[in-house]
Amino acid sequence: MVMIDQYILGGFVASLFGFVLLYNLRRKIKQNKCSKIVRNDQCIKTSNEGIRRSAADGGSTDIIIVGAGVAGAALAITLGNEGRRVHVIERDLTEPDRIVGELLQPGGYLKLIELGLADCLQDIDAQQIFGYALYMDGKNTKLSYPLEKFNSDVSGRSFHNGRFIQRMREKAATLPNVRLEQGTVTSLLEEEGTIKGVQYKTRNGEEMTASAPLTIVCDGCFSNLRRSLCTPKVDVPSCFVGLILENCDLPFANHGHVVLADPSPILFYPISSTEVRCLVDVPGQKVPSIANGEMATYLKTVVAPQIPSQLYDAFIAAIDKGKIKTMPNRSMPANPLPTPGALLMGDAFNMRHPLTGGGMTVALSDIVVIRDLLRPIHDLNDATTLSKYLESFYTLRKPVASTINTLAGALYKVFCASSDQARKEMREACFDYLSLGGIFSNGPVSLLSGLNPRPLSLVLHFFAVAVYGVGRLFLPFPTPKRIWLGARLLSGASRIIFPIMNAEGFRQMFFPASVPAYYRSPPVN
């Protein structure tokens, strides 16, 4: 048994060093060629006839932004405030009605302040969030954000996603150098390997083209343009079933609530002064039918008995009201194809499981990186040189984005129920580790909140949970069965986190300065 234990631990150490060595070899990213774009039917030659050019362009646009969701609208305001002439094309400018994108972590709120967008949270009944309450098997613990170093205004925020987006769109529309237009972008315009603009249909169905030296695509999780600019590997591990609970009080005011239920987590958080959002995670890509009543039955018989008793009546009332929505949960590592004249960002570029509410924090952090990269550049017309310079974006964003992405994926796997005893031990160890308080809760919550998005801290805390779980198994004394279970727990932890880090890019996460595209000097005018 000792030899087996040594073999497993030795393999674990060897695997860790193997990942380090593997990602010291930079994968060469080839330039996206026109032939590939054409095969995707998302890029057309600019020589196409019979298409009107937007009269408002005429060479007066610096940047085209495709999409005006959280990422696109925030980016438009930011670049407009930087003096750029921006043309935003959004498929639907009416207020969105979504069940995700409703929780902004404190780290994201700090980015919102840095971008001058904090006022977009005013007059939408946004609620302050100060931490989480965690429930499992009749136990609960409160995890507070470590906000001691910040003023009282800094916290998380939760709200109706559509109201927030409309406030940003309204602010963007007030800028004289930002043009907001409703239209559906159907393809990117390409000329000799360089993206020159977009082809789109107006709300009246008229086909138009718009030209600019730089096109930034951020048309969301359902993007029809991403294949031109990246190699997408979309995973759909589960679906969210969304309800709104009305006129009920959460057990812990101004906190998100996470119930570690069977088979997977249930979330509650306020989105207004009178409404609480409930998201029920359903593993897999298929959910019970809403139309024939299967969903209502599932929620009442499987989910309702597991939620806090204070929320039970409001939960049943929300089901009976019938306004049940579903949303697939997507995960997609960033895998760009650097292309002259174009950039990809937001959910069109990179997604993670929404369990931790990190999507908007990543998007806003990315906007800060883009703003700072573009600031010293006055002329955007040297597409090839600009593209090479903007490759730095894909590396500079990695430590923050990959930490949040990896944490979301790892926590989801740990929080889901499992018949495997080692996974059960890991789940219980995670709950008890967070319940210890002090550094044991502050560290992980700092990662979750985006206040300390450091990859090394993530790895240390993740394996600290695993080691804590092994230590519990060895008490009061280590039997051969417990030793074997502890080894399986460590092995299972490795199998959870390392594949996610592998997909994110180990070298860019931990050693970004060693990547050639870490930073390049701005193009000389």
Going residue by residue through the chain (525 aa), what tens digit of pLDDT does each one get? Answer: 333 343 334 444 334 434 333 333 333 333 333 333 333 445 544 433 334 555 445 458 999 999 999 999 999 999 999 999 999 999 999 999 999 999 999 999 999 999 999 999 999 999 999 999 999 999 999 999 999 999 989 999 999 999 999 999 999 999 999 999 999 999 999 999 999 999 999 999 999 999 999 999 999 999 999 999 999 999 999 999 999 999 899 999 999 999 999 999 999 999 999 999 999 999 999 999 999 999 999 999 999 999 999 999 999 999 999 999 999 999 999 999 999 999 999 999 999 999 999 999 999 999 999 999 999 998 999 999 999 999 999 999 999 999 999 999 999 999 999 999 999 999 999 999 999 999 999 999 999 999 999 999 999 999 999 999 999 999 888 999 999 999 999 999 999 999 999 999 999 999 999 999 999 899 876
Q: How many CB atoms lie within 10 A of CB 493?
A: 25
| CA–CA distance, 260 with 408 (Å, rounded to integer) | 15
Could you tell me if residue 20 is left (phi over 0), alpha (psi between -120 and 50 degrees) or otherwise beta? alpha
**Whole-prediction pTM:** 0.89
The tokens describing 277, both together, are 């959002």
**Taking Cα atoms as reference points, which of 423, 412, 129, 462 lies closest to residue 260?**
412
DSSP code, position 332: B
| CA–CA distance, 384 with 345 (Å, rounded to integer) | 19
What is the amino acid identity at position 342? Answer: A
Q: How far is CA 170 from CA 87, 178, 294, 424, in A?
A: 14, 11, 40, 48
| CA–CA distance, 131 with 354 (Å, rounded to integer) | 16
Q: How many CB atoms lie within 10 A of CB 43?
A: 26
